[in-house]
Chain A
Amino acid sequence: MDYSNLSVSDFIKESKKGNIDIDDFHSVFFSKAEEIQKRYNHFITISKKEAKDSIRKLGRKSTLSGLPISIKDNICTRGIQSTAGSKILENYIPPFDATSISYAKERGGIIVGKTVQDEFGFGTFSTNSAFGIPKNPIDPKRSCGGSSGGAGGFTKAIDMPHIALGESTGGSISCPASFCGVVGLTPTYGRVSRYGLIDYANSLDKIGPMAKTVKDTALMLSIISGNDPLDQTSIQQKAEDFTKYCGKDIKGMKIGIPKEYFKNIDKDIEKTVRSAISKLEALGAKTVDISLPTTDYAIPSYYIIATVEASTNLAKYCGMRYGAQDEIKGYFNEYFSKTRGKYLGEEAKRRIILGTYARMAGYRDQYYLKALKVRTLIIEDFKKAFKKVDVLAAPTMPIIAPKFTEIEKLTPVENYAMDNLTVGPNLAGIPMISVPCGTSQGMPVGLHLLGDHLKEGNIIQAADAFERM
Chain B
Amino acid sequence: MAERIDKVSGIARLELTAEEKKKFEKDLDDILNSFRKLSKIDTTKTVPTFQPVEVKNITRKDIVEESLSQKEALANAKNKEDGCFRGPRAI
Contact = CB atoms under 8 A, between A and B. Distances in A.
Interface in A174-193: 188-190
A442 B48 CA distance: 43
Given A95-B73, A325-B79, A341-B14, A413 B53 contact: no
A411 interface: yes
Given A190-B53, A232-B55, A322-B77, A337 B31 contact: no
Interface centre among B14, B58, B60, B76 (most CB of A within 10 A): B14
Interface stretch (A26-34, A246-254, A297-305): A297-305
B51 A333 contact: no
A297 B41 contact: yes
Given A332-B88, A374-B38, A189 B53 contact: yes
A412 B52 contact: no
Contact of A332 (B43, B76, B90): B90
Nearest to A293: B41
Contacts of B89: 330-332
A320 B87 contact: yes
B53 A370 contact: no
A233 B57 CA distance: 11
A454 B89 CA distance: 49
Residues of B contacting A: mostly: loop
Interface in A108-140: none
Interface stretch (A8-16, A64-72, A346-354, A458-466): A346-354
A229 B60 CA distance: 8
A90 B44 CA distance: 46
B55 A341 contact: no
Interface-centre pick from B12, B43, B47, B86 (highest chain A CB count, 10 A):
B12
Interface string B9-53: 101111111001000100110111011011101010011111111
Given A322-B76, A375-B49, A357 B38 contact: no
B3 interface: no
Interface residues of B, number: 50
B82 interface: no
A439 B52 CA distance: 34
B37 A338 contact: no
Contact of B31 (A96, A189, A376, A416): A416
A36 interface: no
A323 interface: yes
B14 to A, nearest CB: 5
Interface of B: 4-5, 8-9, 11-17, 20, 24, 27-28, 30-32, 34-35, 37-39, 41, 43, 46-53, 55, 58, 60, 68, 72-73, 75-79, 85-90
Interface of A: 91-93, 95-96, 188-190, 203-204, 229, 232-236, 294, 296-297, 299-301, 303-304, 311, 315, 318, 320-323, 325, 328-338, 340-342, 344, 346, 349-350, 352-354, 356-357, 360, 367, 369-377, 379, 411-413, 416, 427-430, 453
Given A335-B87, A353-B24, 4 more contacts: A95-B73, A203-B51, A321-B85, A357-B28
15 contacts: A95-B68, A95-B76, A189-B51, A203-B50, A203-B52, A235-B55, A303-B35, A331-B88, A331-B90, A350-B24, A352-B14, A356-B9, A369-B48, A370-B38, A379-B52
